[in-house]
Every structure is written in structure tokens, then in C-alpha cells.
Amino acid sequence: MIAREPGMGIAQQTRYRIEGMDCAACAAKIDKAVRGVPGVEGVAVSVTAGAMTVHHAPGSDLQPVEKRVSTLGYGIARAGDDHAAEVAGHRHDHDHDHDHGHAHAHDHAHDHTHVQQAVARPEAAIGLHGHDHGPSEGPWWRSRKGWLTIAAGLALVAAYAVGKLVPSWATYAFDVAMLVGLVPIARRALVAARYGTPFSIEMLMTIAAVGAVLIGAGEEGAMVVFLFLIGELLEGVAAGRARASIRALGELVPKTARLEEDGQLREVAAETLGVGATILVRPGDRIPADGVILSGDSAIDEAPVTGESVPVRKGPDAVVFAGTVNGDGVLRVRVTAGAADNTIARIVKLVEEAQESKAPTERFIDRFSRYYTPGVVVVAALVAILPPLLTDAPWDEWIYKGLAILLIGCPCALVISTPAAIAAALSAGARRGLLLKGGVVLENLGRVTAIAFDKTGTLTAGKPKVTDLVAISGDEAALLRRAAALEAGSSHPLAVAILAEAASRGIAAPATQDSKALGGKGVTGTLDGVALFLGSAEAAGERVALAPELAARITAFTEAGKTVSVLLAGDAVAGLIAMRDEPRPDAASALARLKQDGIVTVMLTGDNPRTAQAIGAQLGLEVRAGLMPEDKQRIVADYRRQGHVVAKVGDGINDAPALAAADIGIAMGGGTDVALETADAAALHGRVGDIGAMIALSKRAMGNIHQNIAIALGLKAVFLVTTIIGLTGLWPAILADTGATVLVTLNALRLLRVPAAR
């Protein structure tokens, strides 16, 4: 495909699938390595899609691109290649195999990039980019990274046992235990340095471990390496689950459709449906394509796409969306969009693009090590060499001091300080049902200045409840008894609400005779010899005349965002039942606390404006209603352009693009798997107040991290001075490093104390 990129001439575009890329740091290393290849004019790497697009001059040799990515430890295949043809010369002997079974190509039909057929796939790609990536699917212990972590842990336990049984062998045992994890880390550090990232966190870890061995602290070095591997393993597992969630979006669209041609029906693959085709959708089926209803009338559950809390009644000429569920009628639908361009496919693309557009956030330790690590080495070398060269100072004394300074500068405490605090904070959050996916999320939550909430299932419970009973003849119990009798056995959300209200009042639903559902209107039946009808006000008005005062009452309920069902007994109105999806119990107080903290709040919902405004007025926040997924994503982007750090809170698939577009996406616990996996965080108990608790936890954790960094660097600064002036030597240096590690760990453990909920 020939494409014109901003600021450059005509360039050819080639898309690759990348296997084993789990984080922004991975993408940054690939980006930097590929940009150094002659002929490459631009690179776009998508962690979410597991893909890379290279813009290059026509006729450029892309073998070096494939070789560089392969050497970094990733599997790479040009998009559209279904065969794993090995590229000669691209095999590398690494420590562990990649299991490529978890690759997610996401080669949707909307990607019309012309690609060539080739693949560079290392036979033993262990993830030299910084992670030993095994399968993203399945148990973590089946991954190569899991095996390495377990091996390092077992080696550490064995070293402790050897040290107890044969103390004279303890040092060697811990050195060997450390090497189990250190060797692959060191090799990754060297390869990353070769392709432009010399001071990666792997290099930091290597220097820390080697420094520990040099001064006989192999035990500490082995423990630090083991903890580092645990952190990397957890990151890989989370990334694999997140990527799998994007695939789950596509599973909403059924695989087959009933195509109508020449008066005949036949089952075909849904992805083969073309624009203009006519399909038949039976009751209970998911709609396989975007389209317009030609004939039929049915209640459509659009919650997966719009978030509408109640099924929407639709008839001829109404628009329907792929992935929504047909209710109670047979529909003939004319297809208006192919599989590549239907609503679900667009949501997938929006999620990928939104996550791809996020600027990579580098870890603090990694950034700091660019200056800290070489700085320590330079200072230690100068201390060891300059005094003997410039004066008659003894070499052995100053070499000893140089080694002590190298030990003081050993970044063990610094390496542990941040992950220890993050691990403690994440554990504390988990105990309250607050799932935070990593340190970057934890850090950014405390900076949030605006929060966009979904309505259905987020600010509200997601299930309609009976709010008002107006008995015209008889009492409320009699009204509920008759309504429950008509709705018995129905799974419609409004029927479920009526039955739940009756059950809560201890009212049993008697059996009716001649029960029948009237599509789009209501239900009828006979109870105690009286003909009953329960349905919408419009349908009831077609049967009997509604008194002006009754019509006014119905209008008032409707303006309050409530759905009204009218019960008729014979030719008279027996009563009204009003229902609405009500706010969660803690929603109002939680939103009030967020406002007190200076955070802007807004409701973004696909529900109808009248209902949304009623809920918004009750909760006291701005409302934007009637939105499609792309509208929510756009509004979130607008807030970000205004300078806000935005969190998006939602529970449905329709929220996925906005969750990904926000600085922080937060899923409510009762939401879909896609929302939970696409989001950066999740409130598993579904309390609105948990959003404020997440922000508070973030601020506590970041304060703790800053304290830890100050402790680690402060002790090093003190002992650096005392070592140079001769007050302390090698053993105090060991105490300084070990003591700093102990102090920062104990300080981090304070985060495990979970404060009471406000």
C-alpha cells in the first residue's frame, strides 16, 4: 500500500504481527531499533494489536527490520502470512523458547494494507527486550517466564538450605542461585544496549547483582533478582489478559447468519455478508451485522453497544447494530455494513487506536538509571584511580574505597523501593476490591482531575426497580399481585423488576388463564374471571380512554425518566407501575466527595436524554446522553485536550473505546469481561465510592515511593561522603546498602494497612 505520511513524501507501508510484545517499554525498544534501519521513514507500534506498521521507501530491503526485531527476542511475521516460513539467518540461540501460541494478529478486514508474504520468527525467542514472554493464555506457570521465576525461587531456597548445612559453601550457593535468574537478564541487557537502549532496567539489575557478588553479598543479589522476575512475570500475565480481551469483542458477533436469497434461506458465515444482503434474525439471536429492519417488530437489547438499560422497541426502517440481541420477534434486516465496518469491528479498532495513541510511560527507575548507573561507575573509577595518579596515595587504599563506593552505589535498595511500595499498595487495594493494573496506573490515578462516568451499571445498578405504585382500584398489594401474575415466567427486565418487588413484599404470583404476549404492546391474561392487560401507556390508551389526571401522572413519571406500565382490569384502569434503573446507594455521597476534592464529574451515557437527565439531577452532575461509543471516546479526548487528567468509569462493551482513550480507564465490577480487561483498573465491588478510594490509595502510594527513594539515595549520599573522607569502609558500605533495602521495604509495608472506607 502506498501512503503519504505527514511531513514526508510517498512511502510504502508494511504491517507486521509482533509476538511477545507486552508493554510500552517493549514497543519503545522495537521502535528505536527499527528506526535505525536504512530506508525506514516511520514506525508505528501497537502493543494492543500486537502489530507494527513500517513506513519505508519503495523497494527498501526489510530484511534488516525483521532481523533486528527477531534478535531482540520477538516473533515477527508480515500481516497476511498464514504460514510460518522461516527467514534464513534469523535464528538465534537464546535461553528459553517463546511459545507463540498466544499471538493476536487482529488482522481485521478493515486493514487494507498490502503486505508481502514473509516471516522472521526466532526458533528460541526468549524476550530479550526485557521480559521472558511465554504464552499469554493459560496458567502463568506454563510460560517460560513462569518457569524461570520458579527456577530462581527454588535455587534461592536450595541456597539457603546449603548455607545452613554447609556454611562454608553458602557464598557459592547464593552466587549460583543468583545466576539462574541473572544470566538471561544480563543477556537481555546486552542486546538492548546493542540496539540503542544501553541503560535499561536489565542493565541496572545486572550491575546491582554483579556488585553484590564482588563484595560477597550473593544472598542479597539472589533475592533482588528473584523479586525482579516476579514483577516481570505479573506484568506479562496482565498484558496477555488485556490483549485477549480485545479478541472477546469480536466474539459478540455470531459466526453465522441466515441469508435470504430468491425466497430461500441458507446459513452462511457472517463475515461473508455484503452490503445490501437480506438476513433473517430469529427471536433470541444476536444480530450478525449492522442494518435496517425491512419487516418485523421486536424489542432489541442494545446494552452491548449503546448501554441502553431497557430493550428498545424497533420496527421497519429502524437501525440495528451488530452484536445486539433480538428479543421477541422475527426480523428481516437489510445489511448496511460489511463485517470489517460493523459496530463491533469499529469498537475494536477504536480500542486499539486509543491504546496505541497513549504516550509510552517509562518507569522512574529506568529513566533515573540512565544517569545514576553510569554516574556511580564513573565516581567509583575516579575515586580508585585519581588519588594514586595525582598524589603518592597508596593504590590499594583507594581501590578499596572505589569498591566501597561501587557497593554504596549498588542500586539494590533503589530497585526494591518502588516495586515494594507498588506491590504493597496493589495488595492493599485488592483487599478492598480495587484492582489496579500496575505501577503506571497507580501513579496516574492520583493525578486525575476529571472523571467521566457511564450511567447504566456504573452510577446505577443496571437493573430497573419499581419506584412507584398507583392503585386506582384496590390497593398496592392487589395491583402487584395481578401484574406479577401476568409477568410470571418472563425474563424481560421490566417483568423481572415487577416480580422482584412482589417477592420483596411477600406477594405470590397466581396462575392466569389464556396468557399471551402482544409484541411491542404488553401481556394479557385472565385472573379470577377478570380480563387483564399490562403494557405501555400508549398501548393501554388504545384500549381504554385515560383520564386527564391519569395521563398527567404518567407524563410526570416519564419526565422523571421512569418507564410506566398500565394495568387494565376489564375496561377500566386498575393502576400504574413506574420503574427506573435507580442510582447506587453510595453514588450521591461519593460524587459529592469527588467534587470536594476539586475533581470534575460528568455522565456519558447511551441512554435516552430524559432518563439520563433525571438521574443526573438526582446525583448533581453534568449529563451527556444519547451517545455512541465513538461519541464517548471523543468527549474524553476533548477533556484531555483541555488539560485534564481524565478517568473514565464504565461497565459495558460500549465503554471500551472511551476506557482506552482516557488516561485511566476504570471498570465497575459488575461489568463485562471486555470492560474489565480493557480498563486500567476495576472496582470489583461496584461501589461508586471505590473510585475515590483508588485515588486516595494512589496518593498514599506515591508519597511512600518518594519517601523510599529519599531513604535509598539519602543513605548512599551520606556513606559516599564518609567513605571518601575515610570514616567508613567496605563493611559499613554493606550495612548502608542492606540497611536501606530493609528500611524501604518496611516503609512500603505500611501501605498494607488499609484505611477504613469513607
3-state secondary structure 595-630: HHCCCEEEEECCCCHHHHHHHHHHHCCEEECCCCHH
Q: Quick one: pLDDT at residue 558?
A: 87
Q: pLDDT tens across 196-247, in order?
A: 767 666 775 676 677 667 656 677 678 777 877 776 676 566 556 555 655 6
- 3-state SS class at 120: strand
Helix and strand counts by DSSP (H, E) for the chain: 22, 28
Exposure b/e, 319-354, CB count within 10 A at least 16 = b: ebbbbbbbbbbebbbebbbbbebbbbbbbbbbbbbb
Assessment of whether the complete model's pTM goes beyond 0.95: no
Strands 291-295 and 278-281 turn out to be unpaired
Who wins on pLDDT, 504 or 650? 504
Measured in degrees and rounded to the nearest 5, phi and psi for residue 78 equal: -70, 140
pLDDT of residue 553: 93
Write the pLDDT tens digit of every residue in 593-648. 999 999 999 999 887 788 888 889 889 899 998 888 888 889 999 999 999 999 99
| SS3 of residue 318 by DSSP | coil
Lowest mean pLDDT among 27-41, 357-371, 501-515: 357-371
Whether 707 shows a pLDDT value over 60: the answer reads yes
Burial 656-689 (b: 16+ CB within 10 A, else e): bbbbbbbbbbbbbbbbbebbbbbbbbbbbebbbb
pLDDT higher than 70, residue 373: no
pLDDT in tens, 528-538: 889 999 998 88
**Which pLDDT belongs to residue 85?**
31
pLDDT for the residue 47: 63
Instruction: List Cα–Cα distances, 324 to 221, 254, 306, 308, 419, in angstroms.
Output: 55, 10, 9, 11, 43
516-527: average pLDDT: 84
| Each residue's pLDDT tens digit, 651-698 | 766 677 888 888 898 888 655 555 556 678 878 777 899 999 999 999
Q: Which stretches of 517-581 are DSSP H helices?
A: 537-543, 548-559
CB neighbours (10 Å) of residue 580? Answer: 24
| Percent of the chain predicted with pLDDT > 90 | 21
HEC sequence for 430-497: HHCCEEECCHHHHHHHCCCCEEEECHHHHHECCCCEEEEEEECCCCHHHHHHHHHHHHCCCCCHHHHH
Phi, psi values for residue 670, rounded to 5°: -85, 5
Catalytically annotated residues: 454
| Range with the poorest average pLDDT among 180-194, 353-367, 560-574 | 353-367
Higher-scoring residue by pLDDT: 239, 315? 315
Residue 78's contacts (CB-CB under 8 Å, 6 or more residues apart) are 14, 15, 16, 17, 115, 116, 117, 118, 119
What's the pLDDT score for residue 200?
A: 62
- CA distances from residue 291 to 335, 336, 447 in whole angstroms, order as listed: 4, 5, 42
Q: Tell me what pLDDT residue 13 has.
A: 83
Say if residue 170's pLDDT is above 90.
no
